Amino acid sequence: MGPVRASNPLLSWYFGKRRGRGTSRASLLVQPGAGEVLGGPDQEDPVQDSSEKEPGQTSPQKPDGIRGSIVIAEDDSEMRRLLVGAFRRHGYGVIEMRDGVQLAEFLADLVLGEPWAVSPDAIVSDIRMPGFSGLDVLHELSLARWAPPVILITAFGDATIRDEAKRLGAAALVEKPLDLDDLRETVESLIAA
């Protein structure tokens, strides 16, 4: 893995915003439907690969039975549970984030090359969340010039938000109430591209 440069915008932004706050880690990657922990800060990397990975680089191998890994960042626990369940039932490994701060922590860990932080194939994020919005995170990812496809979900999808999401490089903007099948198909098509 190459050295992490101090000038990395995602790290500068993240560490600048985190001053004065306690730290916590992202949720664990869980095998769909099995409830088995596949990775986390105190676990082995679920993707065994003898070569070192660059930050933000997806590993070539996925654990058996996993179609891809999806990060879901949603502050509403009921909505997050619904989204996580839907993707797990369709064979995806899901990494849950309860808010924008936790999503930023996870992405910073990826940039830093933490061995437990598996690069996701896609990110599904609510726009309005405590700490950092989905648009804040998307903006910083665009500055870092790395990002898997980012699908933003919102109940407040006015023209200004749609334009900003498009300008920042969102792969899709999906309005609530969600059609879970449409969202899954959007994620599948973006991963396959």
Per-residue pLDDT of the chain (193 residues; tens, 9 = 90+): 333 333 455 556 555 555 444 433 343 333 333 333 333 333 333 333 333 334 343 333 455 667 899 999 999 999 999 999 999 999 999 999 999 999 998 988 887 887 777 789 999 999 999 989 999 999 988 887 777 999 999 998 789 999 999 999 999 999 999 999 999 999 999 998 8
Q: Whose structure tokens read 């896609």?
A: 122
The whole-angstrom distance between residue 35's C-alpha and the CA centroid of its chain comes to: 20
DSSP strand E in 98-168: where? Answer: 122-126, 150-154
Termini Cα distance of the chain: 26
Topology of domain 63-192 in CATH is: Rossmann fold (3.40.50)
Domain borders along the chain are: 63-192
Could you count the other beta carbons within 10 Å of the beta carbon of residue 67?
16
Three-state DSSP at 177 gives coil
Residue 29 sits at φ, ψ, to 5 deg, of -75, 125
Residue 15's pLDDT is what? Answer: 55
Q: Cα(173)–Cα(165) distance, rounded to whole angstroms?
A: 7
The whole-angstrom distance between residue 168's C-alpha and the CA centroid of its chain comes to: 16
Does the model's pTM come out above 0.85?
Answer: no
Residue 164's pLDDT is what? Answer: 94
Bridge partners, 174 (sequence order): 153
Q: Which amino acid is at 70?
A: I
The residues, ordered by sequence, that sit 6+ positions from 82 with a Cβ below 8 Å of its Cβ are 180
